[in-house]
Amino acid sequence: MYCKLCGAANPEGSNYCHQDGTSLANSASLNQLQLLKRETSFCPSCGEGTLGSENYCGACGHTLLTHAKKESAAAIESVIVPVKNYSFSFSSFFTKETFKKALLPATLAFLLMLALSFLVSSSMNQYYDSLFAQMFDTTPKELAEEIAEETGANVKAPGHLFGFTDVAMISHLVSPTYTMDARGVLNYDEGSFAGKLKIDASSLIFLLFPLITLFLAGTLHRRQTKDESFSLLLAGAISIGIVYGLLLSILSFFSGFSYDLKVNEGGESFKAAIDTSYFFLAAFLKGALLGAFVSLLGMLFSLDNRHVTKHLERFMPYGEAVHQGFSAFVRGFALLAVIFTVIVGTKLNEWKESFIDFSTLFDLPLSSELLEKTWSFAASIGAQLAAIVYSMLHFTPLTFKMNVDEFASNVEMRYSIFGGFQDSFGGMTQNLDIFLDMNNIALYLKLAILIPAGFLLWAGYSLAKSNQAGWQTFVIFGLVYSLFTAILAAASGVFLNGEFMSEGFDNDRQTMDYSISVSAIRVLISSFLMAVILSFAGSWLYKFFLQKSRS
């Protein structure tokens, strides 16, 4: 049964449309005939006298009743309109059956991620080994053997500083910590050195490895289970995330670089150890969150092999707002990343000949080895620059901080797209502003704000078009958009924290802190306000064009 005004489908037996309240009753069915007694004491056919209790004439049998049309009110029946159930049982998270179904997709995704990491690390290490051989005319292994032969010590060649397990960890935004401990005796004097360096930096291009593999895992899981309920999809995604996070945390114990060196010659000795470690809890949490989220996207995609978050419209309240918030973020960042990749790749190709001439002139091995993978390098740099600039486009400056014990004060410099350079030490930031203006870089960065602004306006326009333009919708839309933008800002930063201590030969202790980042907290607040305001403006544009088309 369909409404004659809006066309909405209604259950059989409904009296009113559940969409707009239009009456669904057929007016013709309301016309009924009612039997009425004649108020007479004589038969209208033969004229014989009748009694008031008689329905028919006793002489001729003619009816003493008459029929009259009566307009009766439609019987109102209580119709139960089916309502979508958004409740979720947390007990479905931890069933054995759910984890059994998640075990295979999560394991396959983890193994495929390791395979991609191995291919990339092998290519990188092969490149660096070749570059090392060109620069020093030897290999690390040959150099270690030469030192061992000259000193008579047992010196082994170090392995690769950056192996495939390091690629796997960094692709999940897990940061390494490098530690060094050295002790030695020289001229009967003992000394020691200890250092710790934590590098919190990520290569966003490596993030594609878990994104691709976990998306495929979610697709495989949904096609195996045939689940259609959002509660089952969410339970499966969380199960995949937990299994994947456990596997990644186990890998963290075996990841990183490790090297030991011991030299004893005469009365002198030297012992050193260098290790790389990854915090297993960070590996589990980041792996689990990434696994659950991306695998859920894969499950949603497998529902029709076309849409992803658009399915949330029918799965949850304000699903359209969540979909538009995530889509606006992905579209804006992806477009900016493509633009920066093209710009960087084009510039590298333009500068390639100059680099080759420079390396030939000064006899440097920079011609073919360093420039043979121009577009791979451009994609990596382009993604990093896009992440930083996209965060800055939400009215948040890029901040450089340096704090070293050797200096008496902190050094801080900021660059805002709309405010220029500022520093804390009265430096020559004015020259940097002039340089950016001369090359039109500052102008291009200001124009780049049209990218997120355009997608936010379109999101508000789409929300109004789907009749969901309310303040609650705009707030949820802004929260989703700002959350992912803040995560991108946090992932794009570079943080170095080090502590070094020496005793014996030179008693000293130093700490240092470096950071180049865009404040994730400021991005969270500013992007939320920007998303709410522009989405409201987009909804107003829809209403404006709609009224204009009707007039």
pLDDT of 477 reads 95
What is the percent of the chain with per-residue pLDDT over 90, rounded to a whole number? 35
- Residue 462 in tokens: 């789409």
pLDDT of 1 reads 65
**Where would I find the H helices in 137-197?**
140-151, 164-170
CB 461 within 8 A of CB 541: yes
Mean per-residue pLDDT, 491-510: 81
* Residue pLDDT, tens place only, 420-453: 888 766 655 666 667 666 677 888 889 999 999 9
In whole angstroms, give the CA distance from residue 345 to residue 356: 16
- Residue 219 in tokens: 């697709």
Of 234-243, 379-388, 390-399, 493-502, least confident by mean pLDDT is: 493-502
* Residue pLDDT, tens place only, 306-343: 889 999 988 888 889 999 999 999 999 999 999 999 99
pLDDT of residue 367 exceeding 50, the answer is: no
CB 160 within 8 A of CB 179: no
CB 495 within 8 A of CB 517: yes
- Residue 192 in tokens: 């020691």
Mean per-residue pLDDT, 214-227: 92
In whole angstroms, give the CA distance from residue 218 to residue 407: 52
pLDDT of residue 81 exceeding 50, the answer is: no
Count Cβ atoms below 10 Å from residue 543 Cβ, excluding itself: 13
* Intra-chain end-to-end CA distance of the chain, in Å: 33
Helix (H, G, I), strand (E, B) or coil at 499: strand
In whole angstroms, give the CA distance from residue 511 to residue 498: 6
Q: pLDDT: is 530 or 9 the higher one?
A: 530
pLDDT of residue 481 exceeding 50, the answer is: yes
b/e sequence 91-120, b meaning 16+ C-beta within 10 Å? ebbeeeebbebbeebbeebbebbbebbeeb
- Residue 244 in tokens: 């994947």
- Average pLDDT, whole number, for the chain? 81
CB 174 within 8 A of CB 209: no
pLDDT of 281 reads 94
* Residue pLDDT, tens place only, 167-182: 999 999 999 998 988 8
pLDDT of 76 reads 46
Q: Sorting pLDDT into bands at 50, 70 and 90, what band is 537?
A: very high
Report how far apart, in Å, the C-alpha atoms of 65 and of each of 39, 50, 68, 391, 512 are.
9, 13, 10, 87, 108
Helix or strand (DSSP H, E) at 275: strand 268-278
In whole angstroms, give the CA distance from residue 445 to residue 437: 11
Nearest partner of 235 among 83, 92, 443, judged by Cα:
92
In whole angstroms, give the CA distance from residue 89 to residue 116: 37
What is the percent of the chain with per-residue pLDDT over 70, rounded to a whole number? 77
pLDDT of residue 274 exceeding 70, the answer is: yes
- Residue 445 in tokens: 């960065």
Helix (H, G, I), strand (E, B) or coil at 41: coil
CB 108 within 8 A of CB 220: yes
In whole angstroms, give the CA distance from residue 484 to residue 481: 6
Cα-flanking dihedrals φ and ψ of residue 201, to 5°? -145, 150
pLDDT of 125 reads 78
Q: Sorting pLDDT into bands at 50, 70 and 90, what band is 283?
A: very high
pLDDT of 331 reads 95
pLDDT of residue 238 exceeding 80, the answer is: yes
Mean per-residue pLDDT, 522-546: 93
* CB-based contacts of 389, cutoff 8 Å, min separation 6: 336, 340, 417, 445, 448
Q: At 510, which amino acid appears?
A: Q
Count Cβ atoms below 10 Å from residue 198 Cβ, excluding itself: 16
Report how far apart, in Å, the C-alpha atoms of 420 and of each of 178, 382, 386, 430 are.
36, 22, 18, 9
pLDDT of residue 374 exceeding 80, the answer is: no
pLDDT of 103 reads 93
pLDDT of 387 reads 94
Strand 189-200 with 494-503, pairing: antiparallel
Mean per-residue pLDDT, 60-89: 56
pLDDT of 330 reads 95
Mean per-residue pLDDT, 7-28: 68
Residue holding tokens 């209790």? 53
Count Cβ atoms below 10 Å from residue 209 Cβ, excluding itself: 23
Q: pLDDT: is 270 or 165 the higher one?
A: 165
pLDDT of residue 94 exceeding 70, the answer is: no
* Extents of the domains making up the chain: 1-81, 94-306, 312-551
pLDDT of 478 reads 95
* Residue pLDDT, tens place only, 376-422: 778 888 999 999 999 999 999 999 888 876 655 678 888 888 888 88
CB 168 within 8 A of CB 251: yes
Report how far apart, in Å, the C-alpha atoms of 90 and of each of 232, 236, 238, 252, 453 are.
10, 12, 11, 29, 38
Helix (H, G, I), strand (E, B) or coil at 379: helix
* CB-based contacts of 7, cutoff 8 Å, min separation 6: none
* CB-based contacts of 202, cutoff 8 Å, min separation 6: 170, 173, 175, 491, 492
Report how far apart, in Å, the C-alpha atoms of 284 and of each of 233, 243, 289 are.
21, 9, 8
In whole angstroms, give the CA distance from residue 294 to residue 286: 12
pLDDT of residue 527 exceeding 90, the answer is: yes
Report how far apart, in Å, the C-alpha atoms of 224 and of each of 108, 109, 311 are.
14, 15, 19
